[in-house]
Structure 1
Amino acid sequence: MNLSAIYRYPIKSARGHAVNSASMDRFGLAGDRRWMLVDSEGQFYSQRRAPDMALLDVALREDGLSLSYAGESIEVSTPRTGDREISSTVWGHTMLARGVDPRVDTWLSHRLGADLRLVFCPEDASRSVDSVYLPDAKREQHVAFADGFPLLIVSQASLDDLNTRLNNPVPMDRFRPNLVVGGSDPFAEDEWRNLRIGSTTLAIVKPCSRCAIPSIDQQTAARDPEINRVLASYRRREGVIYFGMNAIVTGGGEFTIGERVTVLN
């Protein structure tokens, strides 16, 4: 098996991009979901509420982001210590995130049709991974604005298997993974517990439950309910659809396309 793709998503639920290599920081893949949109009450905003977020293209700059939407673009500077703070909530966890230039908020609000703020997770933020799922409860793990874990792993064979069941095959971007493993059997990742990718070791800690986002075309924002109906026919357990596995790094922290993937147990 090998690492066949690496993806990161600078803004939670906006368009992601593939990279050839990546390293971990204290929150996950460096540059991954350190930014988030929140509504006027500070609740996170995602494609669940606004499918058009799939059309918000994001590029990392040395000190911020470049945003593009429908042919228009704007630059965003990373907030500094002392900049305005905004109470921001993601899946029940509330933290103080840093706000950006209000002109960026206005630009985003006009294009996405809601009163929005763009916030940044600062280095000193503390949002811990649920210790129930950690192999070593004494080793605290943090996450920025990802749903709950630093990494999401999907095997290419699992997507290939799904596509044999669909009338219209879909690309991997429907599932927004960080790491894609090639060369395995379909859904082999369900049984993995510890993994080595190159020199980095990972613990596979929890299946990834799925919402409506896989039904959203990441290139057009159009909805296609077939994918969730098909998944429900064979990937539903106790009323929840699962596809892919959440993971944490237990040693090392560098990834490069093509590296060997070994199941440790």
Structure 2
Amino acid sequence: MGPLPTITVAELTAYPLKGAAGTSLTAAGLTPAGFRHDREFMLVRPDRRHLSQREVPRLATLEPARDEAKLTVHAPGEVTPLVHEVVDGPPLDVTVHGRPCRGTDQGDEAAGWFSAFLGRPCRLVRFTGTRPTTRRDGTLRFADGYPLSVLSRASLDDLNGRLAEPVPMDRFRPNLVLSGLDPYGEDGITTLRVGTAVIDLVAPCARCIVTTVDQRTGEQTRRDPLRTLARYRTRAFEGGCGVMFGRLAVPRVPGTVAVGDPVDAR
């Protein structure tokens, strides 16, 4: 038997604003709720349900950046960027896929900027309080059900070999991308030890229509890669909805993770 392949961290991405573009990182602090600032902000409709690319694909074209004091969001075209000083506004009861959580309202200026760009009324909220993961074995902010998503480069390469037009990694919006695995090798992994952190892979990631949105242009195809994935990947076990591609994860031990770190995968 030859030597085992060396598995490393290939990419790290945080998503400060839920549904918007990600921020590529060279190193990231991993908290119990995921990467620092990940899904810290969210847009909500007047009924306080979260706004996503499912309804507004154009959300993908917004490019947020977060520092200690402010959230800066760039939009395509001649739109003046939003430079938002984070405030402790009034708390609002909001929902993510029907699950209750809380956010602090970030004011009329931010609400007006996003509403004008997206062409529908919405408000910006910042996560506050606590929220359990879907299986209640961790905590998260405004992510759908778990604080981290993990995918390997080899899995995307295998999928792209089946597509008429290859798609980039950002179609799947992972937080952590691994290199050195065989295609779909992440399916059989339960634990990652990387940097000073330990991460438990706890559920398959069921893919939705957001994977058909071009993350650069905000345009939707409504066919691939979902159609091709459905031909050869099994459906996720929760309700039989969506096809499995990648894994969802919960940090067991917080720490620091960096691109290039070796990964002990078990």
With normalisation by structure 1, the TM-score equals 0.92
Correspondent of 2:40 among 34, 44, 54: 34
Any residues of structure 2 matched to 1:1-265 within 5 Å, and which? 1-70=7-76, 71-72=78-79, 73-80=81-88, 83-122=89-128, 125-131=129-135, 134=137, 141-224=138-221, 225-237=223-235, 238=240, 240-264=242-266
Work out whether residues 93 and 127 of structure 1, in 8 Å CA contact, stay in contact via their aligned partners in 2: no
Aligned amino acid, residue 226 of structure 1: D
Q: How many residues align?
A: 253
Q: What is the identity percentage for the equivalent residue pairs of Structure 1 and Structure 2?
A: 35
- In structure 2, the partner of 1:138 is none
1:13 is displaced (CA, Å) by 0.5
CA contact (8 A) 2:86 2:106 kept: yes
Structure 1 residues 239 and 249: alpha-carbon distance in aligned structure 2, compared to 1, 3 A threshold: closer
What is the rounded CA distance, in whole Å, between the counterparts of 1:194 and 1:116 in structure 2?
39
**How far apart are residue 39 of structure 1 and its match?**
0.1
For the aligned residues, what is the CA RMSD? 1.3
**What is the CA distance between 1:159 and its match in structure 2?**
0.4
Distance 1:93 1:47 in 2: 18
Shift of 1:240: 2.6
Q: What is the CA-CA distance between 1:239 and the residue it aligns to?
A: 5.0
For 2:203, the aligned partner's letter is K
3-state SS in 2 of match to 1:121: strand
CA 1:69–1:25: 2 relative to 1, 3 Å: same
Supply the distance in 1 between the matched residues of 2:177 and 2:101 (Cα, whole angstroms): 31
How many angstroms does 1:96 deviate by? 2.7
Q: Alignment partner of 1:144: what SS?
A: coil
1:99-151 C-alpha deviation (Å, 9 max, x unpaired): 112011011101101110000012xx11011346x3xxxxxx21000011111
- Partner deviation per Cα, 1:74-98 (whole Å, 9 max, x = no partner): 1112122xx2222211122222310
C-alpha distance in structure 1 between counterparts of 2:254 and 2:36, whole Å: 14
- Structure 1: 5+ residue runs without aligned partners? 135-140
Return structure 1 stretches of 4+ with deviation > 3 angstroms. Answer: none
Q: Which runs of 5+ in 2 are unaligned?
A: 1-6
Alpha-carbon distance in structure 2 between the residues aligned to 1:25 and 1:190: 23
Distance 1:239 1:103 in 2: 38
